[in-house]
Chain A
């Protein structure tokens, strides 16, 4: 960090001299496309003993929000800004406007940058998805944005790096689907190519390996560390280790309708949702399991077996990280937070690609490239409505587990109503890091979230904030203030209003009965939108890459013909 200007260098020195053991290590674990109910501690049948342990020894939020899709979520999470403010208002695509440039701007400091100033060793292992290319130069990669060590990975095959180069080589760049377009060398270690031999590894394990390795190396230094452990799992393609898949053979023959019921019941028993929770209505596009042919059931069940195995392996990775902490005897001074970047997805990968791009093996193997589609995601997002990419609760709700032995009371479940913009203030408060007023000649954007510490430490049951929470993604808009949630889904501009205190399943639109609330919240939305640089999606839609339009189309399942 040769370029650090003097005041910050001083600040860094100051923190180093502060009482060393008082600064906790921080691990932020981010799962990818994991639905609200996909962990044991949130109602799942998937074996996640390590995350369940964190939950039982820590706290869980009933309500924790993300931005409904990967890059915008990561932009907010890494910077503490709303995504548009950080430059990632739409996705990792550059739509030609500052709020939509598709990579983190310099005014939005990352967790890495700020925690470095507080004397932390900053480590990142996993998916990034908020970098870009400017004038042929890569910008805003982890090694460029405050991370001392980084393993850089992307979504794609979990077994090899061939999907960009080999399978799309004859396609025009514009036709290559996100996220492969920007990826020429899938893995980077501290910014340098990190080639891995196809078939010799499994991505989740690579990410875990590097995390464990980084912790081991950095703990030798007398510095606290911050680890951003951003798993690509269980994001498609559905790839998993055979031994993990074997654990789930036959487990999903009950189908998504029954699975959702079972998860719903467990969630009530766990206390994650209230006993009188109003479960969301079934998305009409989701197939009726009981009517499917036996062969169709088999075909679908095997997809969920793989998905479960992916979550299982992620949990095993968390277990290995915990083991490392214990080994290094730093497990009593580490905060771990676990969240997911968005709800489980609706997109059908094979449809998106106009057919299978790999078909030499069954789902789960290197010869496959599939997604679980909305049928299973409907169960993953129990008890909520809809999916990733939508601002209904199923799209923006995540499990939230925080573990900090001795500081966070074990087994707490609280309302929380946290948001990813709150993570940065939380970590900065805990790390004693002062969010700088100036950084490398740049005046950074103010943080908009609230520290979660009062809630984590049991002083409050939910985050106290004066402003509502806001969402905007590809024209889907939402405002949450108290019990009210106001929202629209593009291309509709008609506001829907839900009382999420009594109807978090979003079954009853009460906009027509509460015109004053609608007016008040919509007004706040437009104020926020203007302040944050949000542009009406109607004006941006023409700039949206065709692949993203096809991505959206792929979410519509084929209509089932009655017939025979």
Chain B
């Protein structure tokens, strides 16, 4: 990597006024040889479970493009997120733990700095940092880290933005009259999705358009491609659904097993790992009536179609890269914001109900029923810090730099991506920005792992989680978990029991005590508030926003 010169320039520029310095640096880079700075594409998918793509076990879902990235790149067995959308996105975008970035709970303002519901000024976005490093910064897709206009992507470092601001969106007929739905935005202006058009395609269309436009500039680009698929509502293109007709007659119990076996064969799950215990809240497939089985199969057919479409659109972006002759100098990272969505409530009332699941007239979820399969072989779902909630596929592709077909433990985390990108881009993370002292980056660059120097990220500190009173700490093979409202100590040896079937907290009280002490220290440093104290504010917020549908 020929980044030393650029780095020197960058450092030199800092001697003057910071802002001026950065401008100078940016200009210098523009003049530097184009190919010296790699392009970066950060692909994020939404609510996709650990085993929901081909390279992680979903042999029945056609993901040839993601398969290709995996085959030509590297996969991590362990890569962590923050278990739910807005907190994950705030960490990813800033490299901070979510509370430090101001999104400790969600995109709702709970009246405390760590829970303000939008990114604070002290936490710079990768748009801001990479823009300053001479990159064209592009975002197509979901934002979810700032509802108000002054917090929208174009105001937080992105040169180009298309997508939606909140947590969920329909895929068809968005912004229909009389419906309280998320409208689309393009560079601060409302954007109409034409009748019959499908959002996943539109996200890719805009990304491709941005790439074409950007190609006219002599600059590297950073593209944050944040698909909201396969997040509910389950809506997909008919031709994609058609491919999965009848593919799920075997039901969730069998598929969960198959996915686990696949994952072991592929090597993304160690052969000595076990399948997590069956969730009692999930009705055994063979206890469903035939008609119920039909109904649930159709949901998974749509879910698979949504993933399939994401893959096809990734394929189009890859083709564009190739066309622009940038495919040999681009790092692509693929992750999901959290595990597949859990829930067992009788969600039989839906805000759209004029058509079957998958159509514009439907608004369905896959629930724990299929999500237990999606998260196979891991435990639990989105919104908890069990492995099924915070684990995602991690694929990184960088031809010539990353060795093809590598699978490693990794033990990466969202907070590591910003340092990775900044190292790769030769971007120095500023200590102050627009006169504001910035939060230091707590993550580690993944480059040593990506380039095969290390198998796992070397870090001095454990990894930490807190969301809605659910807590976790991961240090080495140990993982401490405490789930609200039971708040009981749980300890798992992830090396031998990633399924979290055996709580060994009673056996290792000193390990538990040690991890709890470290958690307390981290919580204090990150302004984490005891959820018992926070909860009334959450309840109030949710009640006052109960008319809004877009908060999740």
A residues contacting B by CB (< 8 A) are: 287-288, 291-299, 302, 350, 354-356, 359-363, 365, 367-370, 558-564
The answer to whether A292 and B353 touch (CB under 8 A), given A299-B291, A302-B291, A354-B287, is: yes
A302 to B291 Cα, complex, angstroms: 9
Interface hub of A299, A302, A359, A367 (most chain B Cβ within 10 A): A359
Interface hub of A293, A294, A362, A369 (most chain B Cβ within 10 A): A293
A562 to B551 Cα, complex, angstroms: 14
- The 4 A-B pairs at the shortest CB distance, nearest first, are namely A355-B287, A561-B345, A291-B349, A558-B346
B362 in the interface, Cβ–Cβ < 8 Å? Answer: yes
Instruction: Collect the chain A residues with CB atoms within 8 Å of residue B290's CB.
Output: 356, 359-363, 365, 367-368
Cross-chain contact A564 with B363 (CB below 8 angstroms): yes
Cross-chain contact A296 with B287 (CB below 8 angstroms): no
Cross-chain contact B288 with A294 (CB below 8 angstroms): no
Q: Which among A294, A302, A350 is the interface contact of B361 at CB below 8 angstroms?
A: A294
Q: Which among A292, A354, A363 is the interface contact of B291 at CB below 8 angstroms?
A: A363
Instruction: Collect the chain A residues with CB atoms within 8 Å of residue B357's CB.
Output: 293-295
B12 in the interface, Cβ–Cβ < 8 Å? Answer: no
B260-285 contacts to A, CB under 8 A, are 283-284
Cross-chain contact B353 with A291 (CB below 8 angstroms): yes
Q: How far does the Cβ of A548 sit from chain B's closest Cβ, in whole Å? A: 21
Q: How far does the Cβ of B149 sit from chain A's closest Cβ, in whole Å? A: 26
Instruction: Collect the chain B residues with CB atoms within 8 Å of residue A363's CB.
Output: 289-291
A355 to B357 Cα, complex, angstroms: 23
B452 in the interface, Cβ–Cβ < 8 Å? Answer: no
Instruction: Collect the chain B residues with CB atoms within 8 Å of residue A298's CB.
Output: 356
Instruction: Collect the chain B residues with CB atoms within 8 Å of residue A563's CB.
Output: 343, 345, 347
Interface hub of A292, A354, A355 (most chain B Cβ within 10 A): A355
Q: Which among B288, B291, B353, B363 is the interface contact of A355 at CB below 8 angstroms?
A: B288
Which partner residue on chain B sits nearest A561 by CB separation? B345
> How many contacts between A and B, using CB within 8 angstroms?
103
Cross-chain contact A355 with B362 (CB below 8 angstroms): no
Instruction: Collect the chain A residues with CB atoms within 8 Å of residue B552's CB.
Output: 564
Q: How far does the Cβ of B91 sit from chain A's closest Cβ, in whole Å? A: 25
The answer to whether A368 and B356 touch (CB under 8 A), given A292-B349, A564-B549, is: no
Q: Which among B286, B347, B353, B362 is the interface contact of A561 at CB below 8 angstroms?
A: B347
Which partner residue on chain B sits nearest A297 by CB separation? B353
Q: How far does the Cβ of A359 sit from chain B's closest Cβ, in whole Å? A: 5
Interface segment, one of B179-187, B292-300, B461-469, B475-483: B292-300
A356 to B233 Cα, complex, angstroms: 28
Mark contacts of B354-367 with chain A using CB atoms, 8 A cut-off: 1 yes-contact digit, 0 otherwise: 11110101111100
Q: Which among A291, A360, A362, A564 is the interface contact of B365 at CB below 8 angstroms?
A: A564
B20 in the interface, Cβ–Cβ < 8 Å? Answer: no
A362 to B346 Cα, complex, angstroms: 21
Cross-chain contact B346 with A293 (CB below 8 angstroms): no
Cross-chain contact A359 with B345 (CB below 8 angstroms): no
A335 to B128 Cα, complex, angstroms: 91
Q: How far does the Cβ of B116 sit from chain A's closest Cβ, in whole Å? A: 25
19 contacts between A and B (CB under 8 A): A287-B348, A292-B350, A293-B353, A294-B355, A294-B357, A294-B361, A295-B295, A298-B356, A356-B287, A356-B288, A359-B286, A359-B290, A359-B292, A362-B291, A368-B291, A369-B289, A560-B345, A561-B346, A563-B347
B398 in the interface, Cβ–Cβ < 8 Å? Answer: no
Instruction: Collect the chain B residues with CB atoms within 8 Å of residue A287's CB.
Output: 348-349
Cross-chain contact B346 with A355 (CB below 8 angstroms): no
Q: How far does the Cβ of B292 sit from chain A's closest Cβ, in whole Å? A: 7
Cross-chain contact B348 with A296 (CB below 8 angstroms): yes
Instruction: Collect the chain B residues with CB atoms within 8 Å of residue A288's CB.
Output: 349
The answer to whether A292 and B347 touch (CB under 8 A), given A297-B353, A564-B549, is: no
B351 in the interface, Cβ–Cβ < 8 Å? Answer: yes
The answer to whether A359 and B348 touch (CB under 8 A), given A294-B361, A564-B365, is: no
Interface hub of A291, A365, A559 (most chain B Cβ within 10 A): A291
B308-365 contacts to A, CB under 8 A, are 343, 345-351, 353-357, 359, 361-365
Q: How far does the Cβ of A282 sit from chain B's closest Cβ, in whole Å? A: 15
Q: How far does the Cβ of A288 sit from chain B's closest Cβ, in whole Å? A: 7
Q: How far does the Cβ of B365 sit from chain A's closest Cβ, in whole Å? A: 6
Cross-chain contact A293 with B364 (CB below 8 angstroms): yes
A562 to B552 Cα, complex, angstroms: 13
